[in-house]
Structure 1
């Protein structure tokens, strides 16, 4: 707030008043602080799915952990998938199931698809909860658990990629699971 200027007499009086003042605590001039290094970038931990999650099966023999679902598609696959030009070889509907039954059904579906030589599976999971949903925890548990289930699956080495589906195949409520080609050891 700007005030009026002091007259010469007022300025002299103010100078005499403040001349005898000393600070209560002497504070030396503070050096400029060194800039802090940027904080490390931490990825947020995914929230565990709510509800009952079936226990993982213990392997009979000690094995190395299965690699995470890889991302081995080339650009032409991604373009064809995003345009809805790929027809799934088989389709499995998991929504409406409990977490335990959906997990078991996914394992059986992968086993059957691999045995048949399928390349593209359409996995219907149901949509994730809307951000404005009143009870967001009540929906989307299967959808949230599927990536973990696929990565920990006994069939993880056969999965080339997982992609969101085209609207004609279910859009946000479904996923494409692309399986690797079966390697045949010919003669």
Structure 2
């Protein structure tokens, strides 16, 4: 037997409206919004319920801006034949940088400088060693940060693709990075 639905209280409607206004609907779906309470609320009135005070504060609050884009971009992988050739040594790794023991800001500037230099010298494939960072059961900071950096505009102009390295090159603690070709 189905229970009859209770109407939402004013506080519940305000809360639903606040949450629903920050959500992005799926393609082809409309976002159903419950209407806010229709009572006129005077913010100076001392005999207001908490829901009425919350609604008054909500009306005076600035609109929430949504972020334009997320930090992570779709992963640009190196194709399988090239990865296999890199792993077997048939394609030369033109440079290597080891970021072990560096802070994020040091690693970021060193990696960007290294990739700029490799790009300027027409190098095609480089190895970036981030380390696995498996202390206390967590993934390393640089292991997570470097792929996120590759999604930023500063690195996107240089990096054409990347993938975890073969075991003898560092495995999941290193990345093969394919640089973009220089335009003449």
TM-score by length of 1: 0.54
The alpha carbon displacement at 1:174 in A equals: 0.9
Once the two structures are superposed, residues 79-112 of structure 1 have per-residue CA deviations (whole angstroms, 9 ceiling, x without a partner) of 3235454331000010111111111111111111
- C-alpha contact (below 8 Å) 2:72/2:148 kept by paired residues: no
CA distance in 2, matches of 1:103, 1:77: 26
Following the alignment from structure 2 to structure 1, what is the Cα–Cα distance between the partners of residues 172 and 77? 22
Specify whether residues 143 and 172 from structure 1 end up closer, same or farther in structure 2 by C-alpha distance, changes over 3 A only: same
Q: Residue 102 and residue 161 in structure 1: after superposition, are their counterparts in 2 closer, same or farther (change >3 A)?
A: same
TM-superposed deviation, 1:157: 2.5
Tell me, in whole angstroms, the C-alpha distance in 2 between the residues paired with 1:170 and 1:66.
26
Q: How many Å apart are 1:123 and its aligned residue?
A: 0.4
Question: In the TM superposition, what whole-angstrom CA distance separates every residue of 1:66-89 from its partner, at most 9, and x where no partner exists?
Answer: 994762644421332354543310
Bigger share in helix: 2
The alignment partner of 1:96 has SS state of coil
Say whether residues 1:171 and 2:137 are aligned partners: no
Which residue does 1:156 correspond to in 2? 156
* TM-score, length basis structure 2: 0.54
Q: Over alpha carbons, which structure has the higher Rg?
A: 1
> How is 1:35-184 mapped onto 2 (pairs within 5 angstroms)?
68=73, 71=76, 73-129=78-134, 135-137=136-138, 140-184=140-184
Q: Name the SS for the 1:146 alignment partner.
A: helix
**RMSD of Structure 2 on Structure 1 (CA):** 3.1
Higher RCO (CA 8 Å, separation ≥ 6 residues): 1
Q: Alignment partner of 2:160: what SS?
A: strand
How many residue pairs end up in the alignment?
Answer: 119
Q: What is the alpha-carbon distance in structure 2 between the residues aligned to residue 73 and residue 172 of structure 1?
A: 15
Q: Report the CA distance between 1:154 and its aligned residue.
A: 1.1
Unaligned runs of at least 5 residues, structure 2: 3-25, 27-69
Residue 153 of structure 1 deviates from its aligned partner by 4.5
SS of aligned partner of 2:151? helix
- Aligned pair in 2 of structure 1 residues 72, 166: CA closer, same or farther (>3 Å)? closer
Mean Cα deviation higher: 113-122 or 76-85 = 76-85
